A and B are shown apart, each in its own frame.
Chain A
Amino acid sequence: MLATVFFGPGIWGRLGLFRTSAEDLYSGASDPYASQIVTQILIEAGVPGARAVVVPIKGSDGQIAVITLDSSAGFDGTGTASGNEMVLMDVLQRMREDNRMEMLGIERVSVDYRDKNGGNLLAITASQESLEAFSQGQLTRKELLQKVDVGLPTLDLQEMLALLAEGS
Protein backbone atom coordinates (compact mmCIF):
# COMPACT_ATOMS: atom_id res chain seq x y z
CA MET A 1 0.00 0.00 0.00
CA LEU A 2 2.82 2.41 0.89
CA ALA A 3 4.58 1.54 -2.32
CA THR A 4 1.44 2.42 -4.23
CA VAL A 5 1.16 5.78 -2.49
CA PHE A 6 4.79 6.72 -2.98
CA PHE A 7 5.57 5.22 -6.33
CA GLY A 8 2.28 5.23 -8.20
CA PRO A 9 2.55 8.29 -10.43
CA GLY A 10 -1.19 8.11 -11.06
CA ILE A 11 -1.79 9.05 -7.44
CA TRP A 12 0.16 12.30 -7.64
CA GLY A 13 -1.96 13.45 -10.53
CA ARG A 14 -5.15 12.45 -8.71
CA LEU A 15 -4.06 14.42 -5.67
CA GLY A 16 -3.69 17.41 -7.95
CA LEU A 17 -0.10 18.00 -6.81
CA PHE A 18 1.15 18.30 -10.37
CA ARG A 19 -0.38 19.25 -13.66
CA THR A 20 -1.18 15.86 -15.19
CA SER A 21 0.85 14.77 -18.14
CA ALA A 22 -2.39 14.35 -20.11
CA GLU A 23 -3.22 18.05 -19.76
CA ASP A 24 0.24 18.91 -20.99
CA LEU A 25 0.45 16.31 -23.76
CA TYR A 26 -2.98 17.21 -25.17
CA SER A 27 -2.83 20.97 -24.62
CA GLY A 28 -2.88 21.88 -28.33
CA ALA A 29 -5.98 22.62 -30.41
CA SER A 30 -8.03 19.67 -31.54
CA ASP A 31 -7.68 18.73 -35.20
CA PRO A 32 -11.07 19.65 -36.74
CA TYR A 33 -10.41 17.79 -39.99
CA ALA A 34 -9.40 14.50 -38.37
CA SER A 35 -12.08 14.81 -35.68
CA GLN A 36 -14.77 15.14 -38.35
CA ILE A 37 -13.50 12.11 -40.28
CA VAL A 38 -13.45 9.83 -37.21
CA THR A 39 -16.82 11.10 -35.98
CA GLN A 40 -18.28 10.39 -39.43
CA ILE A 41 -16.93 6.81 -39.29
CA LEU A 42 -18.73 6.31 -35.96
CA ILE A 43 -21.97 7.83 -37.27
CA GLU A 44 -21.89 5.67 -40.40
CA ALA A 45 -21.22 2.59 -38.24
CA GLY A 46 -24.47 3.41 -36.45
CA VAL A 47 -23.09 4.05 -32.96
CA PRO A 48 -25.49 6.49 -31.25
CA GLY A 49 -24.11 9.06 -28.81
CA ALA A 50 -20.59 8.69 -30.21
CA ARG A 51 -18.23 11.48 -31.21
CA ALA A 52 -14.50 11.82 -31.66
CA VAL A 53 -11.98 14.51 -30.92
CA VAL A 54 -8.50 14.13 -32.39
CA VAL A 55 -5.77 16.02 -30.55
CA PRO A 56 -2.09 16.40 -31.46
CA ILE A 57 0.34 14.83 -28.98
CA LYS A 58 2.95 17.28 -27.72
CA GLY A 59 6.52 16.27 -28.54
CA SER A 60 5.41 13.88 -31.27
CA ASP A 61 4.20 14.04 -34.85
CA GLY A 62 1.23 11.84 -33.94
CA GLN A 63 -2.26 12.42 -32.64
CA ILE A 64 -4.67 10.73 -30.26
CA ALA A 65 -8.28 10.01 -31.24
CA VAL A 66 -10.50 10.28 -28.18
CA ILE A 67 -13.80 8.55 -28.87
CA THR A 68 -16.56 9.52 -26.47
CA LEU A 69 -19.44 7.08 -25.98
CA ASP A 70 -21.85 9.27 -24.10
CA SER A 71 -24.96 7.87 -22.40
CA SER A 72 -26.21 11.43 -21.86
CA ALA A 73 -26.08 11.90 -25.65
CA GLY A 74 -27.88 8.66 -26.52
CA PHE A 75 -25.25 5.94 -26.28
CA ASP A 76 -27.06 2.94 -24.85
CA GLY A 77 -24.68 0.11 -25.66
CA THR A 78 -27.47 -2.07 -26.92
CA GLY A 79 -26.88 -4.82 -29.42
CA THR A 80 -25.55 -8.34 -29.54
CA ALA A 81 -21.91 -8.98 -28.75
CA SER A 82 -21.30 -10.51 -32.17
CA GLY A 83 -23.00 -7.55 -33.85
CA ASN A 84 -20.98 -5.16 -31.77
CA GLU A 85 -17.77 -6.91 -32.67
CA MET A 86 -18.66 -6.44 -36.35
CA VAL A 87 -19.23 -2.74 -35.71
CA LEU A 88 -15.90 -2.54 -33.92
CA MET A 89 -14.09 -4.26 -36.82
CA ASP A 90 -15.79 -1.96 -39.32
CA VAL A 91 -14.75 1.13 -37.34
CA LEU A 92 -11.17 -0.12 -36.94
CA GLN A 93 -10.81 -0.94 -40.62
CA ARG A 94 -12.19 2.41 -41.76
CA MET A 95 -9.99 4.24 -39.29
CA ARG A 96 -6.96 2.36 -40.59
CA GLU A 97 -7.79 3.29 -44.19
CA ASP A 98 -8.56 6.95 -43.48
CA ASN A 99 -5.57 7.33 -41.18
CA ARG A 100 -3.34 6.36 -44.09
CA MET A 101 -5.22 7.96 -47.00
CA GLU A 102 -5.85 11.27 -45.25
CA MET A 103 -2.57 11.21 -43.32
CA LEU A 104 -4.31 11.90 -40.02
CA GLY A 105 -1.33 10.77 -37.93
CA ILE A 106 -3.45 8.91 -35.37
CA GLU A 107 -1.13 6.84 -33.16
CA ARG A 108 -3.39 6.04 -30.22
CA VAL A 109 -7.10 5.60 -29.58
CA SER A 110 -8.79 6.21 -26.26
CA VAL A 111 -12.44 5.38 -25.62
CA ASP A 112 -14.09 7.48 -22.93
CA TYR A 113 -17.38 6.18 -21.54
CA ARG A 114 -19.67 8.80 -20.01
CA ASP A 115 -22.60 8.09 -17.74
CA LYS A 116 -26.14 9.48 -18.00
CA ASN A 117 -25.01 12.70 -16.32
CA GLY A 118 -22.11 13.11 -18.74
CA GLY A 119 -19.53 12.14 -16.09
CA ASN A 120 -16.37 10.25 -17.10
CA LEU A 121 -17.13 6.65 -16.14
CA LEU A 122 -14.15 4.76 -17.44
CA ALA A 123 -11.53 4.84 -20.15
CA ILE A 124 -9.95 2.26 -22.41
CA THR A 125 -6.91 2.83 -24.59
CA ALA A 126 -4.77 0.98 -27.12
CA SER A 127 -2.21 1.98 -29.69
CA GLN A 128 -3.46 2.44 -33.23
CA GLU A 129 -0.77 -0.02 -34.31
CA SER A 130 -2.21 -2.85 -32.20
CA LEU A 131 -5.79 -2.02 -33.25
CA GLU A 132 -4.74 -2.13 -36.89
CA ALA A 133 -2.94 -5.44 -36.36
CA PHE A 134 -6.13 -6.84 -34.81
CA SER A 135 -8.30 -5.59 -37.66
CA GLN A 136 -5.89 -7.21 -40.13
CA GLY A 137 -5.95 -10.53 -38.30
CA GLN A 138 -2.31 -10.21 -37.23
CA LEU A 139 -3.30 -10.13 -33.54
CA THR A 140 -5.80 -12.41 -31.86
CA ARG A 141 -8.46 -11.00 -29.56
CA LYS A 142 -6.53 -12.39 -26.59
CA GLU A 143 -3.32 -10.73 -27.73
CA LEU A 144 -5.12 -7.43 -28.28
CA LEU A 145 -6.68 -7.57 -24.81
CA GLN A 146 -3.21 -7.73 -23.28
CA LYS A 147 -2.32 -4.51 -25.09
CA VAL A 148 -5.42 -2.69 -23.88
CA ASP A 149 -5.28 -0.48 -20.78
CA VAL A 150 -8.36 0.28 -18.72
CA GLY A 151 -8.72 2.97 -16.08
CA LEU A 152 -11.20 4.91 -14.02
CA PRO A 153 -10.15 8.47 -14.76
CA THR A 154 -12.21 10.18 -12.08
CA LEU A 155 -11.45 7.80 -9.24
CA ASP A 156 -10.89 10.14 -6.29
CA LEU A 157 -8.60 9.80 -3.32
CA GLN A 158 -11.38 8.70 -0.96
CA GLU A 159 -12.46 5.92 -3.30
CA MET A 160 -8.87 4.86 -3.84
CA LEU A 161 -8.08 4.73 -0.13
CA ALA A 162 -11.26 2.75 0.45
CA LEU A 163 -10.19 0.28 -2.18
CA LEU A 164 -6.66 0.06 -0.81
CA ALA A 165 -8.09 -0.64 2.64
CA GLU A 166 -10.23 -3.35 1.12
CA GLY A 167 -7.24 -4.83 -0.66
CA SER A 168 -4.87 -4.83 2.31
Chain B
Amino acid sequence: MAIRYPLARLLAALLVAAPLLTACTQDDFAFVQSLAKEWAAGKGLLDSAGKPDYFNIALLLADPSSDPEAAAALQAGIVVKGVEDADRLAQQGAAEGDLTKIDAAIRARPSDWSYQEQKAAVLAAQGDPSGATAAFEKSESLVQERVRQGGDCRNLARNMLTHRLDALAVQEDLHPSAELRAMFAETQAELGRLANGQPIAMCP
Protein backbone atom coordinates (compact mmCIF):
# COMPACT_ATOMS: atom_id res chain seq x y z
CA MET B 1 0.00 0.00 0.00
CA ALA B 2 2.81 2.35 0.87
CA ILE B 3 4.21 1.97 -2.62
CA ARG B 4 0.89 2.93 -4.14
CA TYR B 5 0.46 6.00 -1.95
CA PRO B 6 2.19 8.52 -4.25
CA LEU B 7 0.33 7.13 -7.21
CA ALA B 8 -2.93 7.46 -5.36
CA ARG B 9 -2.16 11.10 -4.74
CA LEU B 10 -1.25 11.68 -8.35
CA LEU B 11 -4.47 10.03 -9.41
CA ALA B 12 -6.26 12.35 -7.03
CA ALA B 13 -4.63 15.19 -8.92
CA LEU B 14 -5.68 13.81 -12.25
CA LEU B 15 -9.16 12.67 -11.45
CA VAL B 16 -10.29 15.13 -8.84
CA ALA B 17 -8.34 18.32 -8.98
CA ALA B 18 -7.33 18.93 -12.55
CA PRO B 19 -10.69 20.28 -13.70
CA LEU B 20 -10.86 22.27 -10.46
CA LEU B 21 -13.65 20.46 -8.70
CA THR B 22 -15.12 16.98 -8.45
CA ALA B 23 -18.02 15.70 -10.46
CA CYS B 24 -21.08 13.88 -9.26
CA THR B 25 -22.94 12.31 -12.18
CA GLN B 26 -21.71 9.51 -14.46
CA ASP B 27 -21.46 11.94 -17.38
CA ASP B 28 -19.51 14.40 -15.25
CA PHE B 29 -17.16 11.67 -14.08
CA ALA B 30 -16.54 10.56 -17.66
CA PHE B 31 -15.85 14.17 -18.64
CA VAL B 32 -13.39 14.63 -15.79
CA GLN B 33 -11.72 11.31 -16.56
CA SER B 34 -11.27 12.19 -20.22
CA LEU B 35 -9.74 15.53 -19.23
CA ALA B 36 -7.35 13.76 -16.88
CA LYS B 37 -6.39 11.23 -19.54
CA GLU B 38 -5.85 14.00 -22.07
CA TRP B 39 -3.54 15.79 -19.65
CA ALA B 40 -1.68 12.61 -18.69
CA ALA B 41 -1.20 11.58 -22.32
CA GLY B 42 0.11 15.03 -23.21
CA LYS B 43 2.65 14.80 -20.40
CA GLY B 44 3.77 11.31 -21.50
CA LEU B 45 2.37 9.64 -18.38
CA LEU B 46 0.51 6.97 -20.34
CA ASP B 47 2.12 4.35 -22.54
CA SER B 48 0.97 3.52 -26.07
CA ALA B 49 -1.69 1.18 -24.63
CA GLY B 50 -3.08 4.01 -22.48
CA LYS B 51 -1.75 2.48 -19.24
CA PRO B 52 0.20 4.49 -16.65
CA ASP B 53 3.90 4.77 -17.47
CA TYR B 54 5.26 4.54 -13.94
CA PHE B 55 8.79 5.58 -14.79
CA ASN B 56 7.63 8.78 -16.45
CA ILE B 57 5.27 9.40 -13.54
CA ALA B 58 8.25 9.01 -11.17
CA LEU B 59 10.28 11.45 -13.28
CA LEU B 60 7.44 13.95 -13.25
CA LEU B 61 7.03 13.72 -9.49
CA ALA B 62 10.75 14.12 -8.91
CA ASP B 63 10.94 17.16 -11.13
CA PRO B 64 7.42 18.32 -12.01
CA SER B 65 8.37 21.00 -14.50
CA SER B 66 11.34 21.85 -16.70
CA ASP B 67 10.24 25.46 -16.33
CA PRO B 68 11.88 26.73 -13.10
CA GLU B 69 9.13 29.33 -12.65
CA ALA B 70 6.42 26.66 -12.77
CA ALA B 71 8.46 24.32 -10.54
CA ALA B 72 8.71 27.06 -7.90
CA ALA B 73 5.00 27.86 -8.27
CA LEU B 74 4.14 24.25 -7.42
CA GLN B 75 5.82 24.82 -4.05
CA ALA B 76 4.08 28.17 -3.50
CA GLY B 77 1.31 26.60 -1.41
CA ILE B 78 3.87 25.41 1.12
CA VAL B 79 5.38 28.89 1.25
CA VAL B 80 1.92 30.36 1.80
CA LYS B 81 1.35 27.93 4.66
CA GLY B 82 4.53 29.31 6.24
CA VAL B 83 3.24 32.84 5.64
CA GLU B 84 -0.05 31.96 7.38
CA ASP B 85 1.82 30.52 10.40
CA ALA B 86 4.14 33.53 10.68
CA ASP B 87 1.17 35.92 10.20
CA ARG B 88 -0.67 34.29 13.09
CA LEU B 89 2.36 34.60 15.33
CA ALA B 90 2.96 38.25 14.41
CA GLN B 91 -0.73 39.14 14.82
CA GLN B 92 -0.74 37.53 18.24
CA GLY B 93 2.39 39.51 19.14
CA ALA B 94 0.81 42.73 17.89
CA ALA B 95 -2.38 42.13 19.89
CA GLU B 96 -0.44 41.29 23.07
CA GLY B 97 2.33 43.85 22.56
CA ASP B 98 4.76 40.91 22.64
CA LEU B 99 7.75 41.73 20.46
CA THR B 100 9.32 38.28 20.92
CA LYS B 101 6.48 36.77 18.87
CA ILE B 102 6.91 39.34 16.11
CA ASP B 103 10.67 38.74 16.15
CA ALA B 104 10.01 35.01 15.77
CA ALA B 105 7.91 35.78 12.65
CA ILE B 106 10.76 37.96 11.36
CA ARG B 107 13.22 35.09 11.90
CA ALA B 108 10.91 32.73 9.99
CA ARG B 109 10.57 35.15 7.04
CA PRO B 110 13.40 37.69 7.25
CA SER B 111 12.67 39.35 3.90
CA ASP B 112 8.97 39.89 4.65
CA TRP B 113 8.55 43.57 5.47
CA SER B 114 5.04 43.18 6.90
CA TYR B 115 6.50 41.93 10.22
CA GLN B 116 8.83 44.94 10.42
CA GLU B 117 5.73 47.11 9.97
CA GLN B 118 3.97 45.33 12.83
CA LYS B 119 7.06 45.63 15.01
CA ALA B 120 7.30 49.36 14.24
CA ALA B 121 3.64 49.94 15.12
CA VAL B 122 4.00 48.05 18.44
CA LEU B 123 7.14 50.00 19.31
CA ALA B 124 5.38 53.28 18.45
CA ALA B 125 2.45 52.28 20.68
CA GLN B 126 4.87 51.41 23.48
CA GLY B 127 6.43 54.89 23.30
CA ASP B 128 9.67 53.90 21.57
CA PRO B 129 9.82 56.27 18.56
CA SER B 130 13.45 55.53 17.71
CA GLY B 131 12.80 51.77 17.74
CA ALA B 132 9.73 52.34 15.56
CA THR B 133 11.71 54.46 13.11
CA ALA B 134 14.41 51.77 12.88
CA ALA B 135 11.81 49.09 12.10
CA PHE B 136 10.07 51.30 9.51
CA GLU B 137 13.45 51.97 7.90
CA LYS B 138 14.25 48.25 7.84
CA SER B 139 10.91 47.59 6.12
CA GLU B 140 11.58 50.30 3.54
CA SER B 141 15.09 48.98 2.89
CA LEU B 142 13.68 45.49 2.20
CA VAL B 143 11.19 46.97 -0.26
CA GLN B 144 13.82 49.15 -1.94
CA GLU B 145 16.05 46.11 -2.34
CA ARG B 146 13.16 44.40 -4.16
CA VAL B 147 12.74 47.42 -6.40
CA ARG B 148 16.45 47.33 -7.26
CA GLN B 149 16.00 43.65 -8.19
CA GLY B 150 13.35 44.56 -10.75
CA GLY B 151 10.19 44.90 -8.65
CA ASP B 152 7.50 47.46 -9.44
CA CYS B 153 8.04 50.38 -7.07
CA ARG B 154 4.44 51.56 -6.89
CA ASN B 155 3.01 48.07 -6.39
CA LEU B 156 5.55 47.28 -3.67
CA ALA B 157 5.03 50.66 -2.01
CA ARG B 158 1.25 50.06 -1.95
CA ASN B 159 1.91 46.65 -0.45
CA MET B 160 4.15 48.07 2.30
CA LEU B 161 1.92 51.06 3.10
CA THR B 162 -1.18 48.85 3.32
CA HIS B 163 0.61 46.64 5.84
CA ARG B 164 1.65 49.80 7.73
CA LEU B 165 -1.90 51.14 7.76
CA ASP B 166 -3.26 47.80 9.06
CA ALA B 167 -0.57 47.55 11.75
CA LEU B 168 -1.17 51.12 12.92
CA ALA B 169 -4.93 50.58 12.96
CA VAL B 170 -4.51 47.59 15.30
CA GLN B 171 -2.33 49.58 17.70
CA GLU B 172 -4.53 52.69 17.51
CA ASP B 173 -7.48 50.50 18.51
CA LEU B 174 -5.59 49.02 21.45
CA HIS B 175 -3.66 52.11 22.58
CA PRO B 176 -5.23 55.28 21.13
CA SER B 177 -2.74 58.15 20.89
CA ALA B 178 -2.19 61.33 18.92
CA GLU B 179 1.15 59.98 17.59
CA LEU B 180 -0.44 56.82 16.19
CA ARG B 181 -3.31 58.80 14.69
CA ALA B 182 -0.84 61.14 12.97
CA MET B 183 1.16 58.21 11.57
CA PHE B 184 -2.06 56.59 10.38
CA ALA B 185 -3.18 59.80 8.62
CA GLU B 186 0.22 60.23 7.00
CA THR B 187 0.20 56.64 5.70
CA GLN B 188 -3.34 57.06 4.42
CA ALA B 189 -2.30 60.19 2.55
CA GLU B 190 0.65 58.36 0.94
CA LEU B 191 -1.68 55.58 -0.19
CA GLY B 192 -4.06 58.19 -1.59
CA ARG B 193 -1.24 59.75 -3.61
CA LEU B 194 -0.32 56.32 -4.96
CA ALA B 195 -3.93 55.60 -5.92
CA ASN B 196 -4.12 58.94 -7.74
CA GLY B 197 -0.95 58.23 -9.71
CA GLN B 198 1.02 60.94 -7.91
CA PRO B 199 4.69 60.50 -6.98
CA ILE B 200 5.60 59.54 -3.43
CA ALA B 201 8.94 59.78 -1.63
CA MET B 202 9.80 56.11 -2.33
CA CYS B 203 8.75 56.22 -5.99
CA PRO B 204 9.46 59.70 -7.35
Interface residues of A (CB under 8 A from B): 1, 4-5, 7-11, 13, 20-23, 25-33, 53, 55-56, 58-61, 63-64, 66, 68, 77-82, 84-85, 87-88, 103-105, 108, 110-114, 120-125, 141-142, 145-146, 148-155, 159-160, 162-168
Q: Are A122's CB and B63's CB within 8 A?
A: no
Q: Are A26's CB and B9's CB within 8 A?
A: no
Q: Which residue of A lies closest to B55 (CB)?
A: A167
Q: Are B151's CB and A60's CB within 8 A?
A: yes
Give the distance in Å from the alpha carbon of A150 to the alpha carbon of B60 in the complex: 9
Q: Are A21's CB and B54's CB within 8 A?
A: no
B15 → chain A closest CB, angstroms: 11
Instruction: Contacts A13-B75, A21-B71, A150-B18 given; indicate if A30 touches B83 (C-beta within 8 A).
Output: yes
Interface presence of B163 (CB below 8 A) = yes
Instruction: Contacts A29-B160, A163-B54, A166-B58 given; indicate if A22 touches B72 (C-beta within 8 A).
Output: yes
Top 8 A-B residue pairs of the complex, sorted by shortest distance between their CB atoms:
A112-B77, A22-B75, A151-B64, A151-B74, A167-B54, A8-B63, A29-B114, A125-B73
Q: Which residue of A lies closest to B160 (CB)?
A: A29
- Taking CB atoms, residues of chain B closer than 8 Å to A104 are 155
Taken residue by residue from 55 to 74, chain B's Cβ proximity to chain A (1 for < 8 Å, 0 otherwise) reads as 11111011111011111111
B142 → chain A closest CB, angstroms: 8
Q: Which residue of A lies closest to B4 (CB)?
A: A166
Indicate the member of A53, A63, A108 with the most B CB atoms within 10 Å. A53
- Taking CB atoms, residues of chain A closer than 8 Å to B69 are 108
Interface of A is mostly: mixed
A163 → chain B closest CB, angstroms: 5
Chosen A-B contacts, 5 in total, with CB atoms closer than 8 Å, are: A11-B63, A23-B75, A122-B12, A151-B61, A166-B7
- Taking CB atoms, residues of chain A closer than 8 Å to B54 are 163, 166-167
B8 → chain A closest CB, angstroms: 10
- Taking CB atoms, residues of chain B closer than 8 Å to A160 are 6, 58, 61-62
- Taking CB atoms, residues of chain A closer than 8 Å to B64 are 10, 149-152
Q: Are A120's CB and B24's CB within 8 A?
A: no
Q: Are B146's CB and A56's CB within 8 A?
A: yes
Interface presence of B17 (CB below 8 A) = yes
Q: Which residue of A lies closest to B112 (CB)?
A: A29
Stretch at the interface among B32-40, B130-138, B176-184: B32-40
Instruction: Contacts A26-B79, A163-B6 given; indicate if A61 touches B150 (C-beta within 8 A).
Output: yes
- Taking CB atoms, residues of chain A closer than 8 Å to B62 are 4-5, 8, 10-11, 160, 164
- Taking CB atoms, residues of chain B closer than 8 Å to A146 are 39, 42-43
